[in-house]
A and B are shown apart, each in its own frame.
Chain A
Amino acid sequence: MATKKFMFVNRKAPYGTVYALESLEVVLISAAFDQDVSLAFIDDGVYQITKGQDTTTIGQKNFSKAYKALGDYDISKLYVEKESLAERGLTQDDLMDLVWEDEDDDWAEKSSIIIVSREEMAAIMAEQEVTLSF
């Protein structure tokens, strides 16, 4: 099967709607098909990968830890839009440490988070062959 560039675009807050969880599930499934998968976090979507999420009072499962498994699934390109972070008073320090292990570099841990400007994000999106928006 030919490899295609897949991008999953996440624009919604993690809880309140089912979009974030559905997106994550599709991402994990897609990883089984050996495609070139990347994720984009834009608008309230940046909240999906913030640190210290606590869902105890809303009665939903806190699935944020599952993003830490993305590296195991060879998903190592998580593009986060700089402007979306700034508009919410967030910086990269507010995001979880999401890493992948480079097999060719003695399993060195490398950050999966790539902060890009709105303009750069548009260019990256334009390169994709398949874009799925959540």
Chain B
Amino acid sequence: MASIEVGGQTIELDEEGYLIDLGSWTPEIGTALAKEEDVELTDEHWDIINFLREYYEEYQIAPAVRVLTKAVGKRLGKAKGNSKYLYSLFPYGPGKQACKYAGLPKPTGCV
């Protein structure tokens, strides 16, 4: 099984690099998961990651990209609520990539 070392602890990941134990997530793990893919997380990334975690907390699902885009637009303003902006932050797909760093499962319906 895949895993990653964070602060001396071994964190287990599934075959696609998502956390096995969603409850074990910390911001440090998020940073480490991003680093694995050569991504340096900025405040803009964290806005989206934190938003996803709140959404998951409330609805128990990771939203589809379309839903994420609409919701971000409502919360953080139109300038950020579009797929161009979200893809500029998460080029592998805002759902897939941001959910991974946020320690959430891959969004339902995401291939």
Contact = CB atoms under 8 A, between A and B. Distances in A.
A94 interface: no
B60 A32 contact: no
Interface of A is mostly: helix
Contacts, number: 37
B67 A69 contact: yes
Given A72-B70, A72-B71, A31 B64 contact: yes
- Of listed A65, A68, A72, residue having the most chain B CB within 10 A: A72
A73 B67 contact: yes
Contacts of A69: 59, 61, 63, 67
Given A28-B61, A62-B60, A65-B58, A72 B67 contact: yes
B7 interface: no
A23 to B, nearest CB: 12
A25 B108 contact: yes
Interface residues of B, number: 13
Nearest to A68: B59
A63 B64 CA distance: 16
19 contacts: A25-B109, A28-B61, A28-B64, A29-B108, A31-B109, A32-B66, A32-B109, A61-B60, A63-B60, A65-B58, A65-B59, A66-B59, A68-B58, A68-B59, A69-B59, A69-B61, A72-B63, A72-B67, A73-B67
The 9 closest A-B pairs by CB, nearest first: A29-B109, A69-B59, A72-B67, A66-B61, A28-B108, A65-B60, A66-B60, A32-B109, A65-B59
